[in-house]
């Protein structure tokens, strides 16, 4: 996706094969959605080849912090995984790790403990 001056966008017709062409978008409603998508991707992006260290205060990675935020806002595992670009299986793995660190036996308990510790 290419966005120009927040007023125009080029979106591949087929993300798997960019030789099929692109869609030129100027309609404000569609642009707003594309801009939101871009901003979300930008906010969770990591420089190519870089890894983010764990937060020394919480022991959470950036992905785990964002996962907690998304699940806390009411998203399902699948929806949170899609936003983060990870599978629902990876979401479950992250949540198991977080629950273990919190000493929680359920996600509800994990949410309460994470909030009490200031992780949310």
C-alpha span between 49 and 102 (Å, rounded): 30
- Does position 69 have pLDDT exceeding 70, yes or no? yes
Averaged pLDDT of the chain: 85
pLDDT at 49: 60
Q: What is the pLDDT of residues 12-68, one digit of tens each?
A: 999 888 899 999 999 999 999 999 988 887 776 666 665 555 555 667 888 888 898
Which residue has better confidence, 39 or 10? 10
* Three-state secondary structure call for residue 22: strand
Report the b/e string of 72-105 with b at 16+ CB within 10 A. eeebebeebbebbeeeeeebeebbeebbebbebe
The token pair that represents 68 in the structure block: 């907690």
């Amino acid at each position: 996706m290419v966005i120009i001056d927040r007023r125009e966008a080029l979106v591949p017709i087929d993300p798997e094969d960019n030789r099929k062409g692109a869609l030129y978008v100027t309609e404000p409603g569609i642009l707003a959605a594309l801009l939101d998508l871009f901003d979300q991707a930008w906010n969770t992006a990591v420089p190519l080849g870089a890894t983010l260290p764990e937060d020394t205060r919480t022991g959470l990675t950036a992905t785990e912090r964002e996962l907690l935020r998304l699940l806390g806002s009411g998203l399902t595992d699948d929806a949170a995984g899609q936003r983060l670009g990870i599978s629902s299986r990876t979401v479950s793995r992250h949540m198991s790790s977080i629950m273990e660190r919190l000493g929680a036996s359920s996600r509800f308990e994990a949410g309460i403990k994470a909030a009490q510790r200031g992780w949310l």
